[in-house]
Structure 1
Amino acid sequence: MWRKKVKEKASEGDEEDGELIREREIGRERERERERERERERERERERERERVSCTRDATQ
């Protein structure tokens, strides 16, 4: 009887660990997606800056 309880508790612990691992993986994936979005925004900003410089250069020539 006691061993059965121990096994049940261990099983519950494994399930909780699995849930924590999944939550961490989801969190990491969300962070990677946020980083990709920030990188896309930085690239758009660089492109706007290049365009602005190009227009300024054309206007002064």
Structure 2
Amino acid sequence: MSYEGEGEREEKRRERGEEERRERRRGEREEGEKEREEKKREKKKREKEREEKEREKKEREKEREKEREKEREN
């Protein structure tokens, strides 16, 4: 074997390693983006649930107030 062949193989090995690292980083980045999107969806869902609970609470309070008014009238 010549030194030239060794150098070419070493270069190809190095390039393959670099490409694997790039692919791994790309995958990690995409996974991170998916996690961020999932967190956004969860936050939005929690906010919507909170708003719904608040709305229901206000409705119950209105009903109670109506009941109190009826009691006062009687």
Normalized against structure 1, the TM-score is what? 0.86
Aligned residue number for residue 38 of structure 1 = 57
Structure 2 Cα separation of the partners of residues 44 and 16 of structure 1: 42
Structure 2 Cα separation of the partners of residues 54 and 31 of structure 1: 35
- The alpha carbon displacement at 1:47 in A equals 0.3
Structure 1 Cα separation of the partners of residues 22 and 70 of structure 2: 71
Superposition CA RMSD, Å: 0.6
What do the CA deviations read for 1:3-50 (whole angstroms, capped 9, x no partner)? 111111000000011001100100010000000000000000000001
Aligned residue number for residue 43 of structure 2 = 24
Structure 2 Cα separation of the partners of residues 52 and 29 of structure 1: 35
Identity of paired residues, percent?
A: 20
Normalized against structure 2, the TM-score is what? 0.72
Q: Structure 1: state its 5+ residue gaps.
A: 56-61
Q: Structure 2: state its 5+ residue gaps.
A: 1-18
Q: How many residues align?
A: 55
Aligned residue number for residue 68 of structure 2 = 49
For the pair shown, the structure with the greater C-alpha radius of gyration is: 2
